[in-house]
Amino acid sequence: MAPPLLILRGIHLRFGAQPLLDGAELFVSAGERICLVGRNGCGKSTLLKIAAGSVEADDGERFVQPGATLRYLPQEPDLSGFKSTLAAVEDGLAPGDDPHRARTLLENLGLTGAENPAHLSGGEARRAALARALAPSPDILLLDEPTNHLDLPAIEWLEGELKASRSALVLVSHDRRFLENLSRATVWLSDGVTHRLERGFAEFEPWRDDFMESQETERHKLKRKIVAETSWLHKGVTARRKRNMGRLRALITLRKTQSEQHAAPGAVNLDASQADASGKLVCEAKHIGKSYGGPALIDDFSIRIQRGARIGIIGPNGAGKTTLLNMLTGASAPDEGSIRLGHNLAMVSLDQKREQLDGHATLQDALTDGGGQTVAVNGKPRHVVGYMKDFLFLPEQARTPVSVLSGGERGRLMLARALARPSNLLVLDEPTNDLDLETLDLLQEMLSEYAGTVLLVSHDRDFLDRVASSVIAAEGNGKWLEYAGGYSDMMIQRGGAPAAAAAAKPKKAKSRTAETPGKPTGSGSKKLSYKDKYALETLPARMEALHGEIVAYKEKLADGELFGRDPAAFEAAVTGLSEAKAALALAEDQWLEAEMAREASEKV
């Protein structure tokens, strides 16, 4: 095996009293495809900066093979000092590189090359910096969140570019599909230490769960041994002889080992405050159109959105996703056609640009709107520090200005603000930006249990597959179409690489169009059975009732004094919640099977 091009060994770095990196390692050989994963704030970006040589570790070894070229894409690139984006990218080229490559990369990323770096938006600056990193085809590419601010066509183009590249890759990204398609090895950074899996990200999460389970088992064994040794100490302290001092020292060592072991990392606790149910109809758009003096962004689009739908909106940057979202929520009026909104709507929106956050406000003020020390969640007051902990903020961060928070922390703060407000309509514009994978999992779970309606703009293919019941996709020239299912379902229905799309779907998601459209399988000529007809007629009401039961049980369990006041009622609520969730999952599966049978019968 060829020697590594890059070696990081025994890397230590402290910020304040706590170590951020505590012996982390990274080895990168020629042509490797490595994804670096871990929760927000664990030090992934810092480890990449140390690998790039822009940050120096407190201790440890960094070695780059002589002659090896390395390029680094930071989360917040700085292109100041260049007259144009083309000049910035050309400056990164090495002698002998193709001079036309700089302009080609910029055009593929939606830039002309004439832009002034001083006037670029954050997304445009990131695209120019990405072109600069790719231009010289380096031996090692270190990419920190390369898909942020890229639309779906650009993400898929970047995947193809990186697959064809001979460069070794180290990727940090929240985009699961991107990591699954590109990685061949996974480095997990947890508690300042790295653990390496010689397989891609697709196999990482089961491996991580097994690893954490084994760690918990070891902690449990250690705790039991300490209890046994402490019992011996208390019983034999008066008759202890010198020969038993070794056992006492061993107990002290065990206690030290336990204190040095880090507990399993905390998890974000996501639970949306829910308002009274809206009407069955949320929005009805008829033949709407919108333009801003040029070609139509929206042309003759119609849709009827029912309560409980989870609708994703996808398309290239500039296609009109936000414009469509604003019209469907009543924020702006169409030039043509009509919009009718349902009654009793309580809408909460999450803005992708974090514009709702005042940089001068403290974290506590941002959560309470400057209203003291409590946050109303599901109609009940909670102390702001306790609510902060649900989103992995430390108590001492309560007075931290919003302006100094990281991108991931701002994302969690926006979620905390949005989910605290009562709603039955969630409008999420790029909610996955800057969130770690664990938080994305919990956000997905929360959305699946949310009794209201969700409108979602996202470029995250995996997240759309896991959450969306249908997607509205830009087809070009102002035309938009709705497809049943998530992103992969849309690709199948469009006839675009159906096998690859189906293979890429997350294991937990069920495809609503498992077969090629227009070709029902088996005895497709059979009429819909009585059982399926009955299921389609009765299950929607059953699922709605179960949603109501789940909400009621959650409200009961939110009473922090219930267990002390009435343990039996607490246990009954826990059992009832578990049974209602299981019944809802079964009903949803039965409805899905009946709906697929209905679709198959109609295609005959």
Protein fold of 530-602: Helix Hairpins (1.10.287)
Cβ(465)–Cβ(488) below 8 Å: yes
Segment 549-562 shows an average pLDDT of 79
Give the domain ranges of the chain.
1-69+165-199, 207-260, 304-324+339-504, 530-602
Choose the most confident range, by mean pLDDT, from 281-285, 346-350, 492-496, 536-540.
281-285
| The pLDDT of residue 245 is above 80 | no
Cβ(457)–Cβ(468) below 8 Å: no
Cβ(458)–Cβ(427) below 8 Å: no
Cα torsion 233, 236, 239, 240: sign: negative
The 10s digit of each residue's pLDDT in 116-134 is 998 887 778 888 999 999 9
Q: For 336-478, where are the E strands, in sequence order?
A: 336-341, 347-350, 374-377, 380-383, 425-429, 453-457, 470-476
| The pLDDT of residue 98 is above 50 | yes
| The pLDDT of residue 492 is above 70 | yes
Cα separation values, 333 from 213, 337, 473, Å: 53, 9, 20
Which pLDDT score is estimated for 494?
83
Which pLDDT score is estimated for 501?
45
* Segment holding 134, helix H or strand E: helix 122-134
The larger pLDDT score, comparing residue 83 to residue 529, is at 83
| The pLDDT of residue 214 is above 70 | yes
Which pLDDT score is estimated for 244?
54
What is the rounded CA–CA span in Å between residue 126 and residue 77? 6
* Segment holding 252, helix H or strand E: helix 245-260
Cβ neighbours of residue 523 closer than 8 Å, sequence gap 6 or more: none
Q: How many CA atoms lie within 13 Å of 509's alpha carbon, on the beta-carbon side?
A: 28
Cβ(451)–Cβ(308) below 8 Å: yes
Strands 470-476 and 70-73: unpaired
The larger pLDDT score, comparing residue 403 to residue 22, is at 22
**What is the total residue count of the chain?**
604
CATH superfamily, domain at 1-69+165-199: P-loop containing nucleotide triphosphate hydrolases (3.40.50.300)
Cβ neighbours of residue 326 closer than 8 Å, sequence gap 6 or more: 332
- The label of the residue with tokens 């996501």 reads 270
The 10s digit of each residue's pLDDT in 17-44 is 678 899 999 999 999 999 999 987 788 9
Which pLDDT score is estimated for 62?
96
Of 436, 370, 444, 428, residue with least CA distance to 409: 436
What is the rounded CA–CA span in Å between residue 42 and residue 8? 17
Angle at 471 between CA 516 and CA 280, to 5 degrees: 115
* DSSP 8-state symbol, 184: S
| Confidence category of residue 384, pLDDT binned at 50, 70, 90 | confident
Cβ(354)–Cβ(405) below 8 Å: no
Segment 227-236 shows an average pLDDT of 56
| The pLDDT of residue 521 is above 90 | no
Cβ(316)–Cβ(156) below 8 Å: no
Domains 1-69+165-199 and 530-602 share a fold: no
The dotted CATH code for 304-324+339-504 is 3.40.50.300
SS3 sequence of 271-340: CCCECCCCCCEEEEEEEEEECCCCCCCEEEEEEEEECCCEEEEECCCCCCHHHHHHHHCCCCCCCEEEEE
Percentage of the chain beyond pLDDT 70 is: 81
The 10s digit of each residue's pLDDT in 256-275 is 555 454 444 555 566 666 66
Quote the pTM value: 0.67
Of 483, 584, 496, 506, residue with least CA distance to 539: 584
